[in-house]
Amino acid sequence: MRRRALPVAAVGVGLSALLVRRAAGGAASALVERRFNVTTGPRPFAVSAAARDLHSRLAVVDLHADSLLWGRDLLRRGDRGHVDVPRLVEGGVALQVLAASTKISRRHKLEGNDDRYDDVRWLALAQGWPPATWRRLLPRALHLARRARSLETRSSGRFAVITTHEQLHRHMSGAPARRATAGLLAIEGAHALDGELANLEILFDAGYRMLGLAHFFDNEFAGSAHGFGRGLTPSGRILLERAEAWGMVIDVAHSSPATIDDVLAIATRPVVASHTGMRGVADNIRNLSDEQARGIARTGGVIGIGFWAHAMGGEGLPWIVRSIRHAVNVAGIEHVALGSDWDGTVAVPFDASGIVQLTDALLTDGFDEPAIASIMGLNARRVLLAVLPSLPEAETQAASSKGGYSSGGGSVWSAAADGSGREVLVDRAGAERADWRWGDESNQ
Ligand SMILES: [Zn+2]
């Protein structure tokens, strides 16, 4: 009897250890998020009736948020952080670009970083991500894409992951109805490819449609604004060509000035700076010069103006409006958009539910309605529609039912049944990757 009881007890102890670790890990993520994803503006807030009326007719697009990282269930309205589905819907945000930051550190400086720190690993361990994510970066991006897919599946139509031109067109046409919202998946830093150009296809198959070339350090493909000043590498050039050909938007936020110059010299599709400020307002290495802003405009692209103090030069709405005004003066009204950096360990004046305050502030600053509509969403929508791939409807549905797209090379993002009804990831030969096996859905 004892011999039988022991393993049962051991399983019990193991299970409670797992639950304790999950709970502790969740609490740790929550603690970090409460401390760093802060909202500074008044709550409740007051805006004019004219602003409310105009805002109710807008389909807002925001080009950058890190909300997938924090382990919150984004279907529920959170009491921390900036973004979840209820708050996006309440704020009239029709499309939120959701970024995968696969390697970051609180210790990063503004310049001269190498890639030695890896705090995403601690998030992965704390939140119980699959073992493959503990050391490698590509599985982290796949895990975050799967979080977004799970959100879509569980949302009863309130949230969709947009991957094609047709899907975006359909979604944005009905957007001001205010019942649903959508996300578009973005890579923040090409280090997510784990150094392999071929991995771009895996990210594309997983639904990623925006590619930020660098984040806080230089990688195999591109130099970072916070690194050592280098530009696009030869493989970075191939990466850009491929991403453009497949319908992924190139994002130069966090790129070094040399990388931005290289990209603008060879880009054939509209380029974005998804979340940034302007050097003409806040002069730091992370922000765009007037010349770079004009270069992005020449590609037909947009500059996503951020909401956080460091990029804006000061804290609060007047600084955001000042940066938007400067970007409009330099690049033109067709080339300015929003790049909040919500949930990116930043303090911002309002979360997604309060973005009507920006519409109000732009009205007060003298922008007319067409200009506000352009900035708040139409410009970003134009760029995404121009770049996103066009896939036949039948293929779109088949692809979303299996959880991803095949770009022709054989998808690795297959929801193969493993007997337990759970999804597993299979490699190109169809063999199951045990260390890529996903856990349960409770940890979203
Ligand atoms: Zn960023």
DSSP string, 24-69: HHHHHHHHHHHHHSEE-S-SS----HHHHHHHHT--EEEEEE-GGG
User: Could you name the CATH architecture of 46-411?
Assistant: Alpha-Beta Barrel (3.20)
CB 378 within 8 A of CB 101: no
Q: How far does the centroid of ligand 1 lie from the alpha carbon of residue 428, in Å?
A: 32
Q: How far does the centroid of ligand 1 lie from the alpha carbon of residue 117, in Å?
A: 16
Q: How far does the centroid of ligand 1 lie from the alpha carbon of residue 167, in Å?
A: 26
Q: How far does the centroid of ligand 1 lie from the alpha carbon of residue 381, in Å?
A: 20
Q: What is the pLDDT of residues 131-180, one digit of tens each?
A: 889 889 999 999 999 999 999 999 999 999 999 999 999 999 877 667 89
pLDDT score of 430 more than 80: no
Q: What is the pLDDT of residues 364-377, one digit of tens each?
A: 999 999 999 999 99
Q: How far does the centroid of ligand 1 lie from the alpha carbon of residue 362, in Å?
A: 24
Q: How far does the centroid of ligand 1 lie from the alpha carbon of residue 69, in Å?
A: 13
Kindly report the average pLDDT of the chain as a whole number: 85
Q: How far does the centroid of ligand 1 lie from the alpha carbon of residue 100, in Å?
A: 10
Q: What is the mean pLDDT of residues 422-444?
A: 44
CA-to-CA distance for 40 and 308, rounded, in angstroms? Answer: 10
Bond into 139 cis (ω within 30): no
pLDDT score of 403 more than 50: no
Q: How far does the centroid of ligand 1 lie from the alpha carbon of residue 274, in Å?
A: 8
DSSP string, 124-159: HHHTT--GGGTT-SHHHHHHHHHHHHHHHHHTTTSE
Q: What is the mean pLDDT of residues 306-324?
A: 96
pLDDT score of 8 more than 70: no
First and final C-alpha spacing in the chain? 40
Give 304's pLDDT tier (boundaries 50, 70, 90): very high
Q: What is the pLDDT of residues 55-71, one digit of tens each?
A: 999 999 999 999 999 98
pLDDT score at 113: 78
Q: What is the mean pLDDT of residues 308-321?
A: 96
Q: How far does the centroid of ligand 1 lie from the alpha carbon of residue 8, in Å?
A: 47
Q: How far does the centroid of ligand 1 lie from the alpha carbon of residue 41, in Å?
A: 21
Cβ burial, residue 35 (10 Å; 0-12/13-18/19+)? exposed
CA-to-CA distance for 123 and 72, rounded, in angstroms? Answer: 12
CA-to-CA distance for 266 and 387, rounded, in angstroms? Answer: 16
Share of the chain above pLDDT 90, in %: 69
Q: Where are the domains of the chain?
A: 46-411
pLDDT score at 177: 67
Give 31's pLDDT tier (boundaries 50, 70, 90): confident
**Global pTM value:** 0.86
Q: How far does the centroid of ligand 1 lie from the alpha carbon of residue 275, in Å?
A: 7
With residue 199 as reference, give the H or E element that holds it.
helix 199-205
Q: How far does the centroid of ligand 1 lie from the alpha carbon of residue 104, in Å?
A: 10
Between residues 304 and 391, the one the model is more confident about: 304
User: For residue 378, what are the CA distances in angstroms to 62, 165, 172, 292?
Assistant: 11, 15, 10, 22
